[in-house]
Structures are given as C-alpha cells and as structure tokens.
C-alpha cells in the first residue's frame, strides 16, 4: 500500500496541472475531480474504502435534499459519525466483547463484511468531516436568508455558509477532490473547493502579485522544498523502529518512548508535506498561503511550542479547524472542551489508548490555561534568568505532555495501556494536578489581594 501511495502522490502533480488547464468554473473540472479521486482512492486502498466514502456522500446528499436546511447539519453529523464509529468498531473487533462468544460469530461476519477497513481509514474519517462541514454550511445559510449573517453567528460560520445546495456533480467533486481524497487536508470547506474550481491561473497570479507573494517559478520552488522536507521526515520516521523494543510492555524507558512518539508523528508530517504540492497546484490554496499555518501544519509550531495549548492547536490544523468550527462553537461553552475531546476520541478510534490520550490532554490543557492566567503574570516580574528558567520548564512540561499523550495510542489493548501507566507511575497526572493546585493557591492569593485594596482605601 505504501508503494501505491507514493505512486499516487507523484501522479497527483500532473493531474493537478491537467485540472488547472481546464476552463475555470466548468463542469469538466468537477467531473475530473470526481473521477480522478475515485480512481485514486481505489488504486491506493480498496473498493471498500471507496464504497464507504460514496456511502457517506450519498447519505449526505439525500439528507440535504429531503430534510429542512436548518436540520441538515445535525442530521448529517449524526449519520456520518455513526458510520465512522461502525468502521472503528469493526476494525477493533469489539463485537465479541459486546455480544459474547456465542452470538458474535455470525454478527461479526456481517458487520466486518459491511464496515471493516483494516488500513488507511483516514479517507473515511476525512469524508465524515467534509460531509458534516458541508451540511452545517447549508444550515448556517438557512439561518441568514437575506444575505447578511444572522445575529450572533460566528465569523467562521458566516464565511463558509451556503445559500443553497449544489448539484450532485459539484458535491461529488468536493467529496472526492483528488489531491485530498486520502485524508490531507482532512477538512476544507465546500466554499474553498468551489473557489479552487472557479479560479484561473491569471486571477491567481494577479492576486499573488498584488499581495507581493510568490507566483510561478518561486511557488514551484517552494513546493519542491516542501517535497524534500516530506522525504526527509519520511526517512526520519524509519528510525522510529529502533526505539520500539524499549517501549513494549514491561520495558518502558521514558526517553526512548518520547523519541518513538516524536518520530511516529514524523510519519504523518511527511505524508502531509508530500501532499502539499498537488493541493496548491490544483488551486485549493493560493500560492501566497504556502507559508501560512492555515492548512499546513509545521513541525516547529508543534514540538517547539511554548505550551501545550499551542501544541494541540498546531498538531493537525485541518482537524483542529473542524473541531473548533463545527463542534466547539456549536455547543454550550461550559461543556465545549469536554464534548470536543470526546468527539475527537471517538472519531480517531475506540481503542482504550485514545481515551487515555483525550483525558490526559484535557488535564494538561487545563493546567496550561491556569498557568497562563495565574502564574505567568508573576513570572513576568522575575529577573531575566528566572524568567528564562520558567519558560524552559514550560517547554519541558509540554514535551512531557506530548510524549505521554502519544504513548497510549501505541497500545491497542486496555491491559497494555494500564501497564504503561503503571510503569510511568502516573507521574504526568501527578505533575499536572500539582500545577493545578499551585494555580489555585495563586488564584486565591489574587482574590485576597483584590479584596484588601478597597479596605485599605477605606482606612
């Protein structure tokens, strides 16, 4: 599969050039996107992956045609999310534990025949994000029929809202957009796809010249540099297997496990970098955005971030964007982080390690936000060497949180995850809780100081 993936990424370059050579805004671009994406997905993965993506697309199209536009978003979200959950359950083989050995045999055969996707399920997961974002765009458009955004509508929702549902051909071209059909970027709005299909090279270079941004040979040079960067990180990932024996059950070595976690992330980063070129050539992003952190996650923004909040935001920018626009901003603010991370956990998979990762990440994010609010202002008044030491401790804590958040994802079984936590003696959890206690003390001190000011003035 990796060989076919490499061939497909290389084929996307001439395919993107052909896509751009077609008349801007013509139906031919949508037909080409749909056919090329379907053939590419079948070539790299299997007919079953293609069937899953088409099933999500067909269900979404039927819902937006039949249901009221205001309900399209929640209905498509529920249907496509249930489909992804079914894929994850079949992949994790959980039916025997749920139904028992006596009844699991026949049910497993039917379930796995319909939903099992053994590798590269990211194509199905990305289809769910695109379908949900598309449906919510229609729901937002129904809330503001006059053209102006509805009162209280977030700017991110207003920017991508749709006034009416597109044709089946245009929607299929969006769902199967060939440079991104395998999962990078995992999410982009339908409005952005339409802009790419309607964009011409003349308009693109004129916009680039007006913004004093690269166009033509300079843009191609930047694309080549990203390809080289992806190849380098792909080679770096090959070194990860050296550390795996020291991260197995009963042999957890913190530094070796941290190295394995970072190098495992390099695998995804390499794939994203290699896919950047065809995506930009096809026009999904103007060339001036090659250096902007909008779709393109950057390694230094992730691993060299000053705190864990920045790391989580930069880990996978397209997925983070979807989580913010279509989950976090659409639920009650008090429960937003919990609901968002619960959805993110189930969207990634149903293995126990994912739940440990979500719980630990929530705890680290809470500690980071409390440090920003209550401890960082005090640290700013310290002498320069102590400020530098405080920043170094923050980065060290962030690296520990990154390693600890990734490690449970290496283990499929709950026993393996529990063994890892015991080997680490739950130290990261203890550190995060100690930091939260320190922040609570600082917060109480701040409240006491604010309450003492009026009393002093009264005296």
Question: Per-residue pLDDT tens for 25-79?
Answer: 889 999 999 999 999 999 988 888 898 999 999 999 999 999 998 899 999 999 9
In 3D space, the residue among 134, 58, 56, 57 whose CA is nearest the CA of residue 325 turns out to be 134
Count of CB atoms within 10 A of residue 254's CB? 16
- Express as a percent the part of the chain with pLDDT over 70: 71
Q: Give the domain extent around 60.
A: 1-199
**228 pLDDT band (50/70/90 cuts)?**
confident
Q: How far is CA 141 from CA 135, 196, 331, 441, in A?
A: 10, 21, 18, 47
For residues 87 and 190, membership in a common domain is answered with yes
User: Mean per-residue pLDDT for 229-233?
Assistant: 76
336's CB contacts (< 8 A; 6+ apart) are 327, 328, 329
Q: What is the DSSP letter of 30?
A: H
Contact 382, 390 (CB under 8 A): yes
Within-domain flag for 339? no
Within-domain flag for 204? no
Average pLDDT, the chain: 77
At 192-205, the pLDDT tens digits run 898 888 876 655 65
Record the tokens describing residue 255, joined without a space. Answer: 């530094």
Within-domain flag for 330? no
User: Mean per-residue pLDDT for 357-366?
Assistant: 80
Within-domain flag for 56? yes
| Residue written as token pair 């050579």 | 21
Number of domains in the chain: 2
Record the tokens describing residue 81, joined without a space. Answer: 């999310």
Q: Is the dihedral of CA 207, 213, 216, 220 positive or negative?
A: negative
For residues 183 and 51, membership in a common domain is answered with yes
User: Mean per-residue pLDDT for 105-128?
Assistant: 66
- Cis link prior to 185 (omega < 30° from 0)? yes
Within-domain flag for 344? no
**287 pLDDT band (50/70/90 cuts)?**
very low
For residues 172 and 235, membership in a common domain is answered with no
Q: How far is CA 150 from CA 156, 157, 214, 236, in A?
A: 13, 10, 37, 49
For residues 186 and 254, membership in a common domain is answered with no
Report d(CA 364, CA 429) in Å as an integer: 8
For residues 162 and 188, membership in a common domain is answered with yes
Record the tokens describing residue 9, joined without a space. Answer: 């990424």
Run of H or E residues at 455: helix 427-458
At 403-429, the pLDDT tens digits run 666 666 655 556 666 666 666 666 667
For residues 188 and 235, membership in a common domain is answered with no
Within-domain flag for 323? no
Record the tokens describing residue 106, joined without a space. Answer: 């026949």
Report d(CA 397, CA 333) in Å as an integer: 27
Record the tokens describing residue 55, joined without a space. Answer: 């099933």
Contact 285, 195 (CB under 8 A): no
Record the tokens describing residue 178, joined without a space. Answer: 């060939």
Report d(CA 328, CA 336) in Å as an integer: 5
For residues 24 and 87, membership in a common domain is answered with yes
| Residue written as token pair 């969006």 | 174
Record the tokens describing residue 174, joined without a space. Answer: 């969006």
Contact 203, 85 (CB under 8 A): no
* pLDDT at 127 > cutoff 90: yes
Record the tokens describing residue 253, joined without a space. Answer: 């070595």
User: Mean per-residue pLDDT for 276-289?
Assistant: 68
pTM: 0.84
Query: Residue 292's pLDDT is what?
Result: 45
For residues 266 and 176, membership in a common domain is answered with no
Point out the domain boundary residue: 146, 169, 199: 199
For residues 419 and 458, membership in a common domain is answered with yes
Question: Coil, strand or helix: which one is 316?
Answer: coil
Query: Residue 169's pLDDT is what?
Result: 94
Query: Residue 149's pLDDT is what?
Result: 77
Contact 31, 294 (CB under 8 A): no
Count of CB atoms within 10 A of residue 325's CB? 20
Report d(CA 348, CA 342) in Å as an integer: 10
For residues 264 and 135, membership in a common domain is answered with no
For residues 34 and 134, membership in a common domain is answered with yes
Report d(CA 111, CA 134) in Å as an integer: 28
Point out the domain boundary residue: 139, 167, 199: 199
In 3D space, the residue among 297, 430, 278, 409 whose CA is nearest the CA of residue 354 turns out to be 409
Report d(CA 180, CA 189) in Å as an integer: 12
Report d(CA 306, CA 395) in Å as an integer: 5
Query: Residue 60's pLDDT is what?
Result: 95
CA angle 168, 171, 177 (to 5 degrees): 135
CA angle 152, 153, 155 (to 5 degrees): 125
Contact 304, 394 (CB under 8 A): no
* pLDDT at 455 > cutoff 60: no
Within-domain flag for 446? yes
Run of H or E residues at 255: helix 254-281
Within-domain flag for 337? no
* pLDDT at 114 > cutoff 70: no
Point out the domain boundary residue: 169, 199, 229: 199
Count of CB atoms within 10 A of residue 172's CB? 22
Report d(CA 191, CA 27) in Å as an integer: 16
* pLDDT at 298 > cutoff 90: no
User: Mean per-residue pLDDT for 443-457?
Assistant: 70
Contact 357, 405 (CB under 8 A): yes
Range of weakest confidence among 35-49, 169-183, 255-269: 255-269
In 3D space, the residue among 63, 136, 120 whose CA is nearest the CA of residue 87 turns out to be 120
For residues 64 and 128, membership in a common domain is answered with yes
Query: Residue 155's pLDDT is what?
Result: 83
Record the tokens describing residue 134, joined without a space. Answer: 């598309």
* pLDDT at 448 > cutoff 90: no
Top-confidence range, 74-83, 276-285, 441-450: 74-83
| Residue written as token pair 């006596």 | 102
* pLDDT at 173 > cutoff 90: yes
């Amino acid at each position: 599969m990796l060989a076919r993936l490499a061939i497909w990424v290389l084929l996307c370059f001439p395919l993107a050039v052909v896509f751009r050579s077609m008349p801007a805004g013509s139906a031919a671009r949508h037909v080409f996107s749909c056919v090329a994406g379907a053939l590419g997905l079948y070539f790299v993965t299997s007919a079953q992956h293609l069937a899953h993506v088409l099933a999500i697309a067909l269900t979404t199209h039927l819902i937006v045609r039949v249901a009221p536009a205001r309900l399209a978003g929640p209905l498509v979200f529920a249907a496509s999310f249930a489909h992804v959950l079914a894929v994850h359950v079949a992949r994790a083989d959980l039916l025997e534990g749920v139904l028992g050995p006596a009844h699991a045999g026949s049910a497993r055969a039917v379930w796995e025949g319909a939903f099992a996707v053994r590798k590269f399920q990211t194509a199905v997961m990305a289809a769910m994000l695109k379908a949900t974002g598309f449906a919510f765009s229609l729901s937002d458009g129904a809330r503001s029929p006059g053209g102006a955004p509805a009162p209280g509508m977030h700017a991110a929702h207003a920017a991508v809202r749709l006034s009416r549902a597109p044709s089946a051909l245009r929607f299929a071209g969006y769902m199967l957009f060939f440079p991104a059909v395998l999962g990078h970027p995992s999410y982009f709005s339908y409005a952005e796809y339409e802009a790419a299909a309607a964009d011409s090279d003349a308009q693109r270079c004129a916009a680039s010249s007006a913004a004093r941004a690269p166009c033509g040979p300079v843009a191609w040079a930047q694309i080549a540099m990203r390809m080289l960067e992806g190849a380098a990180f792909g080679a770096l990932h090959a070194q990860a297997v050296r550390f795996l024996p020291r991260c197995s059950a009963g042999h957890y070595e913190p530094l070796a496990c941290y190295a394995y976690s970072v190098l495992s992330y390099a695998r995804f980063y390499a794939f994203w970098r290699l896919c950047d070129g065809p995506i930009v050539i096809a026009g999904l992003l103007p060339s001036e955005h090659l250096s902007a952190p909008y779709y393109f996650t950057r390694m230094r923004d992730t691993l060299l971030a000053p705190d864990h909040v920045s790391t989580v935001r930069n880990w996978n920018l397209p997925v983070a964007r979807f989580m913010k626009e279509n989950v976090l901003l659409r639920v009650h603010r008090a429960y937003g982080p919990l609901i968002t991370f619960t959805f993110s956990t189930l969207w990634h998979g149903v293995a126990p390690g994912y739940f440990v990762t979500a719980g630990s990440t929530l705890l680290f994010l809470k500690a980071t936000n409390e440090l920003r609010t209550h401890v960082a202002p005090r640290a700013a008044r310290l002498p320069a060497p102590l400020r530098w030491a405080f920043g170094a401790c923050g980065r060290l804590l962030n690296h520990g949180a990154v390693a600890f958040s990734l490690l449970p994802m290496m283990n499929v079984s709950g026993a393996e995850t529990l063994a890892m936590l015991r080997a680490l003696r739950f130290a990261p959890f203890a550190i995060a809780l100690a930091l939260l206690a320190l922040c609570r003390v600082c917060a109480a001190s701040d409240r006491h100081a604010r309450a003492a000011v009026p009393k002093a003035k009264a005296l």
